[in-house]
Amino acid sequence: MPIFDSHAYLADTSLSHAMASQQAVLSTMQRYKFDSVALISGTAASCDFVAGNQRLREVLSVDQGLYGYVTLNAGYPAESLEEQRKHLGRREFVAGLLFGHDGVPVTLADAREILNAQRRFMKPMAIHVPNAEAAIAMHEIAAEFPSMKFILLTMGGEDWHTAVAAAKRHVNLYLEISGTLDSDKLAYATSMLTPRKVLYGSCLPYSDPQLTIGLVEETKTLTANDRNRVYYQNAQQLFIVERESD
């Protein structure tokens, strides 16, 4: 079954070099039989989003299934608008991405200017949603931008019920499954939202893909078609097919 990993990092860590370079990423994809991956720059996520996006751009390759997110930063709106302009017109960048910082989640008030600008590129926006506070903040964002599709990376962490509730209320929210490995998480999310709203992600190199694959495989309520949607079709549709039709 093909897999599109919608949440992985181009990053070298002391524990793992599996995603440290383009060659390492390709080798890791081969090991886990991933067809495509949407990468986030580890440098951009942790520190310098401008330098990180540039480095990521040099690694991406549509022909090899290497796609990427343009990391933006609500604390730097002018620089973020410039990053959107520089990168988001390119095929290999499939979405924008916002992280909260210093324990504060992404909010509408902080991110409005960036989200407004995102509309002209007709691409989704991913938002890192590690807890209930971040998931609750998504209500306001999703309501303000109903035509924009949002991907909630890590789907609320331990507070995944809150993320599912947000996605139940707003049809433009999608959930990416890395985060906690609660045995009932996927069955609940897919029953509340349908499997069309759930995307496979690994969080490589910080987490072993075996874990999230195991989570999908253990969810007995999913049919083979459902699994195919979660593993591949939903990301393909969101990142590639809809963009090409636009």
Partner 1 sequence: MEITDVNTLFGAYPSRHPNNSADTLAEMMLANSVDYALTLSTLGLFHHDHVGNEETMAVCRRIQNLVPVATIDPRGYWGQADALSSVAAGYEMYRFFPQDQGWPVDSAAFRDILDAVPTVGAKPLMISVRVPGDVTRAAMVTSGYGNAVILEGVNADTLSEAISVMRTSKNIYIETHALRSPEALSVLRQTVGVARVLFGSGAPGMSLGASLRYIRGAGLPEADQQAILSGNAAAIWHGGAA
Interface pattern 8-47 for partner 1 (x via CB under 8 A): -----x-xxxx-----------------------------
The label of the residue with tokens 């973020």 reads: 80
Is 179 a residue that touches partner 1 (CB under 8 A)?
Answer: no
Cα distance between residue 28 and residue 160, in whole Å: 28
* Binding piece for partner 1, criterion CB under 8 A, among 33-41, 103-111, 180-188, 236-244: 180-188
Q: How far apart are the first and last CA of the chain?
A: 27
Q: How far is the CB of 8 from partner 1 (least distance, A)?
A: 11
Is 218 a residue that touches partner 1 (CB under 8 A)?
Answer: yes
- Specify the residue, 14 or 245, whose C-beta has the smaller distance to partner 1: 14
- Specify the residue, 211 or 241, whose C-beta has the smaller distance to partner 1: 211
Give yes or no for a contact between 192 and 155, defined as CB atoms under 8 angstroms apart.
no
Is 140 a residue that touches partner 1 (CB under 8 A)?
Answer: no
Distances (CA, A) of 98 to 66, 167, 226, 234: 20, 18, 28, 21
Is 80 a residue that touches partner 1 (CB under 8 A)?
Answer: no
Task: Specify the DSSP element, H or E, that contains 57.
Answer: helix 49-59
